Chain A
Amino acid sequence: MSGHTKLDLVQIRQRAAGNGRQYWRSLEELAGTPEFQAFLEHEFPQHSEQAEALGLAGPVNRRQMISLMGASLAMAGLTGCSNPPDKIVPYVTPPEYMIPGKPLFFASSFEQGGFATGVLVESHMGRPTKIEGNPEHPASLGSTDVFTQASILQMYDPDRSQTVLHLGNISGWEAFQAWFNEQKDTITAKKGQGLHILTESFASPTLVDQFTKLQAQWPQMRWHVFDPAGRENARAGAQLAFGEAVSPIYDFQKAAVIVSLGADFLTAGAGSVVYARQYAARRREAAAAIDENKKEPAMTRLYVAETTPTSTGACADHRLPVRASEMEAFARGLAAGIEGKPVPADKNQKWIEAAARDLKKNSGACLVLAGDEQPPMVHALAHQMNQALGNAGKTVRYIAQVEGLPATSGKPAGESLDTLNDALKAGTVDYLFVIGANPRYSAPGDLDFRNNFGKARQIVHVGMYQDETAEWAHWHLPLSHYLEAWGDGRAFDGTASLAQPLIAPLYDSKSAIEILSGLLGKPGRSGYDIVREYWKPKLSGDFESAWRKALHDGVIPNTAAAAKTPGIKPLPASDVSRAATKLELVFRADSTIGDGRWANNGWLQELPKSMTRVVWDAVAQVSPADAEAAKLTNGSRIKLVVNGRTATAPVWVTPGQAAGSITVTLGYGRWRAGRVGTGVGFNAYELRSSSSPWFETDLTFTSLDETYPLSATHSHHTLESTPSGTKIDSMVGRNPVRVGTAEEFAKDHEFAAKMGEDPPRSLSLYPEFKHDGYNWGMAVDLSSCVGCNACVIACQSENNIPVVGKDQVANGREMQWIRIDRYYEGDIENPDAHFQPVMCQQCENAPCEVVCPVGATSHTEEGLNAMVYNRCVGTRYCANNCPYKVRRFNFLAYQDWDTPSLALMRNPNVTTRSRGVMEKCTYCVQRIQEAKITAEKQDRTVRDGEIQTACQQVCPAQAITFGDIHDPKSGVSQLRKSPLNYGLLADLQTRPRTTYLARLRNPNPELEKA
């Protein structure tokens, strides 16, 4: 090898110094020379074969995802995700914290939509395996949403971009840097003119600092921000109302009455994890107060006016379907009602008046809020109403806008995509850097952005995937995952936190911070140095200890944004007269794959959408009335036409959808997402326009007389049409969810118990089994559950649950151990919806146990219904006999046994199940055992709350409580004593250890349905 290349030692030293935690094997490797690459190929030929065998060589059918979802460890291993393979020496003196079998937790932060959520990442011997919320972090408080949970799978995604590409060919960072150095003088000479940078919203202080420096370096450079499903409207609304860039921060715990104008604040958007917690906490406290015959705190009353049914709408006490185009008029009506002016006499009058009265009655303890999708005017009206109701400083406070650069005088803080598009059309874009965004896919259809994109002279794309934008970029630079890179971020309330890597980059990637450092003339600096350098002057006291503490805690203290008291400005009268056309088209970010960035994530693709329960697809949600008029049913294909832009979509008839509105979700129809997401669903961005990104008022559609197969996990409707045309009411006598009103509960504490039969324990021929010691049980509060699905993904991540694919779900073979049952009640045009998370109920009289011929499922002394996977032969009798249908069977080999990167992700404490084996929830028995061992070593019993099941831990609404039911003081025992407590199907004498607390609603007597 020696003598073939002249090694640039200066550069090598720089690289070696720069990569704090990256291992390297030889100087040639470090130099990244072609000789070394050739040497590697020669030495490890199996790697390229492996790549082929794994299907990396060609396009892969999504159906084969299960068998193919893999990248090679070979590729991952080249840069080393653990110790370098060529010298294997056991620790002589191991690090004191590294104990084999003991996981370590590191604080970091996950950023989405520009806001950071603090996380604690579980790491087993250097491999991150599970993400938990950071209880210290104000945007998490210990819980997370689905995306945070699923981000671990994204890191191990074998489809991630692995190398620098130049014109589609494999290249390297040096080549890119060399190219950039050549261009730099030209750019500098023109002061950055012709250079455009497109990013998504971000709030990372280091990045903001770098961008500020970059703008100083090249004052003519233009920076564009594009979030396909972002908060522009909310920002514009605040600007409209206050004349300055502020963000509202709500406190739902203090709000007795909440009116949401299309805001899905419980499950989507910045702060939703915390908001759900506050909202649910108040509901629980109110329920407890009623139980004790107290009046305070009063139960929250939630009014939701929305176009498309959302989880928040399902939680509402009063939900009203309102078309998107009528929302502004609706908000004006409400504002008028609050001011005591007459409310327009239309079908919503009664509702608005009742809500307005309720709000006024609770001035200073109520909230009006608008969804991110609503036009700026609706946001402004909501701000105005909150001011009028005296909520400012009480239930809502304002802080300076967190995300993006501070707007400097005369210069907008981030231009829009439209201006970039104009520049592209004008041919004035010499250099276009796209960092993180994927505009070729997600730009609104009316911009013709895909065509204009190619008019930039040089395009550099920085992203985690070789996606649609990378396809047309001259340079593609692989971006590190947040678990691989140093960084920082700010939460929705401004609190700053650090992000530390859990693992060296799996591939040859760099973080945005490192790349920007290159643009700033300091290539090769490590993220660690950059972030540290930024924070050095900012942390008070001894930097080293402050830094370590910030890293350890995951939060930088005292960085929350200060409250402001912006003055409200008079609002202009609406100048937009949106005629109520026959049909409107509404856009929403998808509830599981977001704006499309999660399209290649199998967990999220297979996660049932909160309301429709559809998986693996995008649908056009149509109201039952419209569907009936057009003779559409679930799966009918329709062609949507908006201003000449068209898309073909399958219909999902959605109870509660506003009549006259069709809703489509963004994020599907990607053509370069990866083996999981490519070609799934239709692309709703095609229908979108940049001027009105969230709804279009003149929609027409034609039915194509075709059916498209959709997979949903819920095929049930309350009334079943039979071949003979008669209806049989399937819900008669079944009360899986018991629901009452706060009023009913106050009158009759035992109402829930009366809704079903609970046979006495003495009703058995057999003597009662005596359980000594711990007795595990769980209580799920249905009033708290907001249907956010976080528990489903947390369970999937904790318990190594495989993904099965659309076809298998269509056949009812989904594997998630928790499912969120959704039941409708009432009128199909606007039904009440109830969520019920159902996992194994751990019956004391488990019907599954007696019928297993090999004893593969049996009871533990602690009351767990245990599964012995390696004893199971798969007769499936247990699943037949399970009245809750919570058992999951590996009908085929669902688990991916071959992909090394996925093997790294798995929880080593949970058996990976093979084909032909039954599996199910066991209350995270691995966590129970670990806590018991710890307690035993410390010669004590397990404390209440010491064990948190994965679903409990992640639950933003804290709806799940787990513990020892024989300990009268434990949280779960307290809940089981509540009169609301009931066992699902307890009439079968199964004696479930999981019980539910009946859902309490708090309807306004004025509006209560007759």
Chain B
Amino acid sequence: MSDEHKPVPASEGENPFIGGEHTYATVTDKIAAIALARRTSKGWVLGFLFSFALMQLLLVAVGYLLYKGVGIWGINAPVYWGWAIINFVWWIGIGHAGTLISAILLLVRQEWRTSINRFAEAMTLFAVSCAGLYPLLHVGRQWFGYWLLPLPNTMRIWPQFRSPLIWDVFAVSTYATVSLLFWFVGLIPDLATLRDRAKVKFAKTMYGIFAMGWRGSAKHWYRYETAYLLLAGLATPLVVSVHTVVSFDFAVGIVPGWHTTIFPPYFVAGAIYSGFAMVLTLTIPIRAIYGLQDFITDRHLDAMAKVMLATGLVVAYGYMMEIFMAWYGGHPYDMYMVLNRMRGPYAPGYWALIACNIVIPQLLWSSRVRANAVFLWVLSLVINVGMWLERFIIVVTSLHRDFLPSSWGMYYPTKWDVMTFLGSIGLFLTLLFLFVRLLPVISIAEMRGMVSSPTDKEGGHH
């Protein structure tokens, strides 16, 4: 490594998405060390134990659920769907950032994605795992949940393909599969690096198995990059399709507040919105704890904040259109639905949602806000809450007062709803803690690429 390859500091030059003075070796050292060399810190142990304990809530809640039935939740007539579906949509939404960052930004050559894609993909995977639990758990007879799959059987009964819930099964399972593959394929070169650097026999073996014999030969690299690009191409439509299909769960229904054509784009934008918010929520502390400011720079945060601002505006447009269409359509049920959201018993939730998702994020117009990591972190939490509220408002306020006033009711969650939700957060955090401890949180291979001048990649000295 010679001096001329030293990258210039982020603030000044052509490659602003990497800070400090890094070479291939320092990049590898720094990132691999998180998994290999660093001692398990007390903070990690405490955090992991906390998350693991939280996850046990899920175990208890699910155990009791299977024993008693979904009646332990607050769902009732007319609100037959409650927190389970809200949480499902919320988690799925969060799971959007990963694919978007990995696939779309790769295809449109947004280099800055490199520092955060691994992390975002992992987050996606964990969020989708949490999301996937809910549809299965929320059905009345969980042990027959597999009937939603098109399994050949002696009675020759197929699922009912007109139901959006069936589309959901395909959309979510496809998304989960592709996300997993994408993440894993991206990990292979890094796993090989870890295999080579690991000093403990067990770790060496395990990394070795998952590295799948990676030797870093040119042929490997060629195939790897082809596969990665292909997967990126495959994953790209999924970013749009998954949440579109999830939105069909509502839009296909005739319930006022659900039955609207704006749902697909508005759901996708909302998903990306919440996904980026979650990436920020997680990145900012990890960056601080593991000293990764050089790789995840303020410019990264700035870029993500801009994405949030843009998608947030799309979401705001969606809200406005809902109100406009209710008025323009002139349907008494839709009009009442909007009024009921604004002034009915759940009005505080609606206004909190507007505040969290529309009003407060307008601060992102200011570059000083975007440059302040602490502020951004708080803002990302606000958006996460806002997006959860959005799903609550969509599911609950639409159902609790629909067509016949005689059947109206109220919905209140029970402790089991809360426990299941907290438990799924516990599951998410547990997986995340394991991930940062055992795997490189930033793609070493791709970061190495960043160290060399991107414009001069082929001519770089190795």
Contacts and interface: CB of A to CB of B under 8 A. Distances in A.
Interface of A: 714-716, 718, 720, 722-724, 726, 728, 730-734, 736, 808, 811-814, 819, 821-823, 836, 838, 847, 850-855, 858, 871-877, 879-881, 883-885, 887-893, 914-918, 984-985, 988
Given A876-B75, A891-B69, A891-B70, 6 more contacts: A730-B408, A853-B160, A854-B160, A877-B80, A916-B142, A917-B140
A715 B408 contact: yes
A889 B80 contact: yes
A421 B263 CA distance: 74
Interface in B131-156: 138-142, 144-145, 147-148
Interface string B398-409: 010111111111
A246 B241 CA distance: 80
Contact of B70 (A872, A874, A887): A874
A873 B147 contact: yes
A889 B344 CA distance: 26
Given A722-B343, A917-B140, A736 B77 contact: no
A892 B160 CA distance: 25
User: Looking at B72, B141, B252, B335, which has the most chain A CB atoms within 10 Å of its CB?
Assistant: B141
Contact of A855 (B76, B142, B145, B159): B159
B453 interface: no
A858 B159 CA distance: 12
Given A850-B163, A873-B144, A884 B347 contact: no
Nearest to A811: B76
B348 interface: yes
Contacts of A731: 405
A71 to B, nearest CB: 25
Nearest to B70: A891
Interface in B64-99: 68-72, 74-81
Contacts of B409: 715, 812
Interface of B: 68-72, 74-81, 138-142, 144-145, 147-148, 157-160, 162-166, 169, 249, 252-255, 331-333, 335-336, 339-340, 343-345, 347-348, 399, 401-410
A874 B148 CA distance: 11
B66 to A, nearest CB: 10
User: Looking at B71, B249, B348, which has the most chain A CB atoms within 10 Å of its CB?
Assistant: B71
B403 A821 contact: no
A879 B77 CA distance: 8
Contact of A854 (B70, B77, B159, B347): B159
Contacts of A891: 69-71, 75-76, 140
Contacts of A853: 147-148, 159-160, 163, 165-166, 169
Given A851-B164, A853-B160, A855-B157, A880 B255 contact: yes
Given A722-B345, A854-B159, A883-B254, A873 B336 contact: no
A871 B163 CA distance: 15
B27 to A, nearest CB: 48
Contacts of A730: 336, 340, 401, 405, 408
Nearest to A881: B253
A716 B408 contact: yes
B166 A726 contact: no
A720 B165 CA distance: 34
User: Looking at A808, A811, A850, which has the most chain B CB atoms within 10 Å of its CB?
Assistant: A811
What are the 7 tightest A-B residue pairs by CB atom distance, in nearest-first order?
A: A874-B140, A733-B332, A916-B140, A891-B71, A892-B71, A885-B407, A821-B406
28 contacts: A715-B410, A716-B408, A728-B340, A734-B405, A812-B76, A812-B77, A812-B79, A838-B404, A850-B160, A853-B147, A854-B148, A855-B157, A871-B147, A873-B140, A873-B144, A873-B145, A880-B399, A881-B254, A884-B403, A884-B404, A885-B402, A889-B80, A891-B75, A915-B71, A916-B140, A916-B142, A917-B140, A988-B403
Contacts of A734: 332-333, 403-405
B77 A813 contact: yes
A885 B78 contact: yes
Contacts of B335: 733
B77 A875 contact: no
Contacts of A892: 68-69, 71-72
A838 B406 contact: yes
Contacts of B72: 892
User: Looking at B139, B331, B332, B406, which has the most chain A CB atoms within 10 Å of its CB?
Assistant: B406
B162 A850 contact: yes
A87 B335 CA distance: 70
A739 to B, nearest CB: 15
Contacts of A984: 404
User: Looking at A823, A855, A888, which has the most chain B CB atoms within 10 Å of its CB?
Assistant: A855
Contacts of A813: 71, 76-77
Nearest to A988: B254
Given A716-B406, A853-B163, A874 B139 contact: yes
Contacts of A916: 69-70, 139-142
Nearest to B398: A880
